[in-house]
Structure 1
Amino acid sequence: MFSKLVKLRETGSYLGQAARMLVGMPDYGTYVRHMEENHPGQPYMSYEEFFRNRIDARYGGGKGRPVRCC
């Protein structure tokens, strides 16, 4: 029973992450885990910095071009 609940939780987490990726919503938890595993000791962005970074990367903000949706 316990292993089925763990498996269900893992599946739900995976599906949630996939859904966020489909709509372009950044996943801060994945970023933090990546930084801790691959770049230990280096500071990582706050949630607000991360979110702004991802929005700028997606829509071109901060590169001399106006940010626009269309």
Structure 2
Amino acid sequence: MISYQPLWDTLKEKGVTQYQLINNYGVSAGQLSRLRANSNISTHTVDVLCEILECKVEDVLLHVPNKTLR
């Protein structure tokens, strides 16, 4: 499973709000909704977030192993 918890931590650390992502950077509310639900997003969205936040991919997402697949 992919978790976007690192994104929320990075936003807080950088002092960037979800409101700013939408209004200043053009991130859609739908994308933020998918991120909050840990749903699928495109690598383009990950790239955009990394550019906005000047961070690494691991500052946006984390892979959490799914034990039921083993």
TM-score for both structures, normalised by structure 1: 0.30
Larger Rg computed on CA atoms: 1
Which structure has greater helix proportion?
1
